[in-house]
Amino acid sequence: MKRILVTGGAGFIGTHLCERLLQEGNEVICLDNFFTGSRRNVQPFLANPRFELMRHDIVDPILLEVDQIYNLACPASPVHYQANPIKTIKTNVLGIMNMLGLAKRVKARILQASTSEVYGDPLQHPQTESYWGNVNPIGPRSNYDEGKRVAETLMMDYHRQNGVDIRIVRIFNTYGPKMLENDGRVVSNFVCQALRGKDLTVYGNGEQTRSFCYVSDLVEGMVRMMNQDGFTGPVNLGNPGEFTMNELAEKVLALTGSKSSIVYRPLPENDPQRRRPDISLAKEKLGWAPVMPLQEGLVPTIEHFREVVAASLLEKD
Ligand code: NAD
Ligand code: UDP
């Protein structure tokens, strides 16, 4: 049993990770400022004596005795990270410095939740970890993209200079139950629009691609990365299945049985055209590959949003 800190633990991925770590018998400290995460997400764990919930912002230092740190704290969707871009940079830069300082002091191993956004609008396809990316440093997404890139730099420098035991995972688009309805992500938007009988809003011509990883597959990869020795990463974690947004819209319509139509809206600025992980390194080093196809992972995701939509309709009555 280990004592494990999960920052951003009350968010979408964090909640699934906390659940998994508790199931394995660990003590989990979930630290969150509740910007996009919620107490409701972790409510089922509160009765567990091995679970502790702390309201704290990682921009401020903290001292805790822990063996491992998973640093997930950071809003992940464009609507939320662009709501207060300077705060997002502070979370990515000052926040990781605080967590690295903590890891150094208590000799904890630290895993950083980095992102495929470090590749920007990639010129190499699919993306391998050796690709340095094509990122606009002054665009509306750069607070997040460049923030995450600096966080990787800090991880590597604390490792080289101070011997901190680090792990970096680059997460590609992840979906599943407990995604936020209002985060503007394509899966949550399409599913909620379909369930509410509203038009599905495809941005651009819908031929841009993404690769969607089911959240339990991602969590498996993160835990494997944290618990292996001798490989710091960065390593891509994602599902290499590549779909256009038009294909995703059709799948959502078929699985929900919705009669909604598809409408086309302008493509947001700096929206990457293609994204697909090369996961050869994760296969080699971690023996990891995702097992949940999009078609199957959408089913529990749709069920989750059915409950969310039904609850919001009841509130309106
Ligand atoms: P999320 O928004 O649901 O979770 C982020 C959590 O961090 C929330 O609970 C939020 O309240 C908390 N938080 C934000 N700023 C904080 C701060 N300063 N101090 C403390 N807590 C703070 O997002 P998610 O999808 O669960 O993403 C988790 C991590 O994974 C993020 O770091 C994100 O960048 C990364 N990631 C996610 C995806 C994805 O597809 N979901 C893809 C790539 C990377
Ligand atoms: N998108 C869309 N309709 C929506 C929301 C998003 O067509 O209602 C598109 C978006 O332009 C992008 C893709 O879906 O090309 C994935 O967007 P998301 O925000 O989920 O992830 P990211 O762009 O961060 O990969």
- Residues contacting 268, CB < 8 A, separation 6+: 78, 203
Look at 122 and 113; give whichever has higher pLDDT. 113
CA 171 to centroid of ligand 2, rounded, Å:
16
Q: Cis ω on the peptide bond leading into residue 234 (within 30° of 0)?
A: yes
Q: Which ligand is nearest to the CA of 187?
A: 2
pLDDT at 121: 87
What is the model's pLDDT at position 272?
84
Contact 44, 20 (CB under 8 A): no
**Bridge partners for 277 per DSSP:** 127
Residues near 297 by beta carbon (within 8 Å), at least 6 away in sequence: 175, 176, 212, 214
Class of domain 186-207+242-272+296-316: alpha beta
pLDDT digits (tens, 9 = 90+) for 130-148: 999 999 999 999 999 999 9
pLDDT, position 270: 80
258 pLDDT more than 80? yes
Distance (Å, whole) CA 228 – CA 35 = 32
Q: What would the mean pLDDT of 78-98 be, rounded to a whole number?
A: 96
* Backbone CA torsion sign across 308, 311, 313, 316: negative
**Contact yes or no for 236/282 (Cβ under 8 A):** yes
| Mean pLDDT, the chain, integer | 96
Residue ranges per structural domain of the chain: 3-177+213-240+274-292, 186-207+242-272+296-316
144 carries an active-site annotation = yes
Q: How far is the CA of 69 from the centre of ligand 1 (A)?
A: 14
Residue 177: cis peptide before it, omega within 30 degrees of 0? no
Which of helix, strand or coil describes residue 39? helix
- pLDDT for the residue 163: 98
Is the pLDDT assigned to residue 166 strictly greater than 80? Answer: yes
CB 205: neighbour CB atoms within 10 A?
A: 11
pLDDT band at 313 (very low <50, low <70, confident <90, very high): confident
pTM over 0.85: yes
Selecting among 81, 119, 144, 158, the annotated active-site residue is 144
Task: Give the separation between CA 40 and CA 147, rounded to whole angstroms.
Answer: 28
Q: Ligand 1: residues within 6 Å at CB?
A: 7-8, 10-14, 32-37, 57-59, 72-76, 91, 95, 113, 115, 171, 173-174
CA–CA separation, 287 and 221 (whole Å): 9
Check whether 228 has a pLDDT greater than 80.
yes
Q: Tens digit of pLDDT for each residue in 108-120?
A: 999 999 999 999 9
> What confidence score (pLDDT) does residue 312 get?
83
Question: Could you tell me whether strands 200-203 and 209-210 are parallel, antiparallel, or unpaired per DSSP bridges?
Answer: unpaired
Position 316 scores a pLDDT of: 66
Domain spanning 3-177+213-240+274-292, CATH class: alpha beta
pLDDT number for residue 291:
98
Mean pLDDT, residues 268-275 taken together: 85
Q: How confident is the model at residue 32 (pLDDT cuts 50, 70, 90)?
A: very high
Distances (CA, A) of 153 to 38, 55, 150: 30, 27, 5
What is the distance between the alpha carbons of residues 117 and 248, in angstroms, rounded to a whole number?
A: 20
Q: How far is the CA of 226 from the centre of ligand 2 (A)?
A: 29
Of 44, 150, 38, the closest CA to residue 94 belongs to 150
Q: Residue 271 has what pLDDT? A: 84
214 pLDDT more than 90: yes
For the chain, give the percent of residues with pLDDT over 90: 92
User: Which of 39, 74, 89, 119 is the pocket-test mutation for ligand 1 (most atoms within 8 Å of CB)?
Assistant: 74
- Across 66-71, average pLDDT: 98
- 3-class state of residue 237 by DSSP: strand
Q: Does 61 sit behind a cis peptide bond, omega within 30 degrees of 0 on the bond before it?
A: no
Instruction: Return the pLDDT at 24.
Output: 98
